[in-house]
Structure 1
Amino acid sequence: MRYEAAPVKPSTPFRRLSCLALCLGSAFATAPVLADALNVYTIRHHDSHDALYDAFSERTGIDVNVQEIEFERLLEHAEGRNRINDADLAVIVDAVRLHQATEKGLFDRTSSATLNERLPESVRHPQGEWFGFGQRTRVVFYDPRDVQADEIREYADLADPRFEGQICVRSSSNTYNQALLASIVAHEGEEAAEAWAQGIVNNMARAPEGGDRDQISAVADGTCNIAIANHYYHVRMMKGGDAEQRAAAEQVAIAFPEQGEGQRGAHMNVVGMGVMAGAPHRDNAVRFMEFMTTAPAQQLFVQDSYDYPVVAGVAPADAVTALGTFKKDTLVASELGEHLQTANEIFERVGWQ
């Protein structure tokens, strides 16, 4: 595997995990060797992904070349500007971005019995534009000294006036918030979604600022009592080397909304891959995605990203498992993109900065 940072985003090459990859090579069934290449453009990368690409090369003989790239650069390519002639496979975080890439024509539709059989319908684009291989949930972190767990049973509770001045959350320009609101539109309709968003604005402790870690830290330092954030930010704070962030994470509790009987489950977002239109090694790209449905590949993909795996029988990383089990929303991820425009119009109307 060769890793190169894309010219638009200089970067230090990621650490190689060749020994682990060589050991994993024997875990996969023998397949014909294709002395060929696969060019992967990714907007996210973690150390264990090096071993993932190496294991695929070990199994198939296909040389994997990886470049980190900004999402905007992929959209330029899709629009016919600043073309990337060797692009085979794109790895994109978030259903909103996957929708935007699909709308621009970035992907080549893929038909694969393996992908359709092994991946849940909720993480597959209905027309095969892209396929999801990891999930993240957007949940609630709270100060257990001031908020009781049974006060947050559903996302609607966050809009209750009793939480006025107590909520910290990112800007409406954040795709994670856009996806969350789009899910509420999908489940409850535009009117209910707007009422929820207005309630959140009314309950904000401050104007939106910073990322998800900043929201969690704000609960710990008393700026607010409740934060909306993706689960893995809390895990990274706990597992990272920053003592201040770890201490902040230790002070908050987590609530998974929508867990009751008849409720839909906590909102889920997706990390997806798609074959890029005009891919010179299209078959290799499809083969890699099929490889991604194997248990060892799934485990590597989520090992240090702390996403939830999507293939049945594969467990999350231990640090994620420690958060507890919960019911997941099975809304098809592509529907989040379908309601994106409505969500953004709501954000504008309610004044969510």
Structure 2
Amino acid sequence: MFLSKKSLLVAMATVGLTTSLPALSQSSGVLNLYSARHYQTDEALYADFTKQTGIKINRIEADDNALYERLRSEGKNSSADVILMVDAARLWRAEIDGLFQPVKSKVLETRIPKNLRSNDAGQGSQWFGFSTRARVIVYNKATVKASDVDTYEKLADPVNKGKVCTRSGSHPYMLSLIGAMYERSGEAATEAWAKGMVANMARAPKGGDTDQIKGVASGECGVALTNSYYLARLMRSDKPADQQVVSKIGLIWPNQASSGAHMNVAGGAVAKNAPNKAAAIKFLEYLASDSAQQYFADGNNEWPAVKSVKTNNPALNKWGSFKEENISIAAIGKNQIYAQKILDRVSYK
């Protein structure tokens, strides 16, 4: 059973959803997409898929939590074919709650690295990462020495007391970082780090990643964490205010002498009750294609999951290569439970 246009719009208003094409349906020529990606450049991605395949995309957009709750409430009556989410913690949560179905695809298994997809128990992967982003450190060049903040661990050192800014510890980006640290260093070391971070805060955690960057540039913060694509946006901006922000900060690729920079994913999955499963798999395979991977890189400043794809993005190319953390994204997602417990114990808000 499918929602009428009227009931769909009512439901979307209830949970704060928006859609460019509200009438979801079941047809071999239709794909119903639930997306947590809110990037204008993705419009070209979807248009290219339709041009190549003739499959029309009906899209609902919301943040990950709203999509998650909608899928749970719709259950077997959901019209969703594909779900796109933007963090390992969120993908893992939806997988565990049975909102996805496994996919066997030679194309996806060949092109998407094993560490960027869910564990395959012989039935296929539940989700696939299609682009990556690094969790980097930015610091105020006038007040902070790069050598004092060149690892995640050093952010918790006493030398940085009163200098650190982050968004909420419970945000999935932070949960994933802490989940990776838990996997790498264990519970005791991760909790000691989180306690040190709380002691070093310049202010209570608030705002998004761009707010952290601007806080560093203004001098409110000495050092902060951000996802790489937020910084790349500012670097590519032609606004004088953004260029002034960029001029005042330094960029650190963390842990280059040890574990490497923490990496996260934007990924996709076929919905558990997808009415158009064949189209859904075709869309995921398209997202692994060279042309789609190029859209991720050039349009939203993300690195392609398919390593053979070269980017024309000036910000990404300026940064060059760096050492990446080699931890399974699935393990990072799983560890969010332990990460949240640690944050609660040390009062990391």
| Shorter-chain TM-score above 0.5 | yes
Secondary structure of the residue aligned to 2:244 is helix
1:222 to 209, 219, 223: 219
Q: Are 1:208 and 2:187 counterparts?
A: no
Deviation of 1:242 after TM superposition, in Å, equals: 4.9
Aligned to 1:26: none
Aligned to 1:257: 254
Match of 1:156 in 2: 153
Q: Does 1:66 align with 2:59?
A: yes
Q: Per-residue CA shift, 1:58-102, capped at 9, x if unaligned?
A: 222222222213323332344344776321000101011111111
Offset at residue 199 of structure 1 (A): 1.0
- Percent identity between matched residues is 36
Compared CA separation, residues 88 and 81, structure 1 to 2 (3 A): closer
Instruction: Tell me by how many angstroms 1:35 deviates.
Output: 5.5
Q: Report the Cα distance in structure 1 between the residues aligned to 2:275 and 2:172, rounded to whole angstroms.
A: 31
* CA deviation after TM superposition for structure 1 residue 268, in Å: 0.4
User: Is it true that 1:341 corresponds to 2:337 in the alignment?
Assistant: yes
Distance 1:76 1:208, change over 3 A: closer
* Counterpart check, 1:326 vs 2:322: yes
Contact 1:155–1:257 (CA under 8 A) maintained in structure 2: yes
Correspondence for 1:232: 229
| Residues 283 and 13 (structure 1), Cα distance of their counterparts in 2 relative to 1, 3 Å cut | closer
2:277 alignment partner, one of 267, 273, 282: 282
> One-letter code of the match for 2:64?
F
Q: Structure 2: give runs of 5+ residues left out of the alignment.
A: 1-7, 22-26
Q: Against the structure 1 CA distance between its residues 9 and 321, is the aligned structure 2 distance closer, same or farther, given a 3 Å change threshold?
A: farther
Q: How far did residue 241 of structure 1 move?
A: 5.8
How far has the Cα of 1:236 moved from its partner? 1.7
Post-superposition offset of 1:258: 1.4
- Contact 1:132 1:272 (C-alpha < 8 Å) held by counterparts: yes
Please state how far the C-alpha of 1:351 moved relative to its aligned partner.
Answer: 1.3
Q: Deviations over 1:221-276 (max 9, x none)?
A: 1112111111111122233465433321221010011112xx22100011000000
Range moving further from structure 2, 73-82 or 215-224: 73-82
Look up the equivalent residue of 2:108 and give its one-letter code.
L
The letter of the residue matching 2:31 is L
- Distance in 2 between the 1:72 and 1:156 partners? 30
CA-based RMSD: 2.2
Secondary structure (helix, strand or coil) at the match of 2:60 reads: strand
| Count of matched residue pairs | 329
Deviations along 1:100-131, whole A, 9 cap, x unmatched? 11122110111112111111111111131100
Match of 1:29 in 2: none
Q: Is the 8 A contact 1:77 1:83 kept in 2?
A: no
Give the TM-score normalised by structure 2: 0.88
Shift of 1:326: 0.8
DSSP 3-state at the match of 1:322: helix
5+ residue gaps, structure 1: 15-33
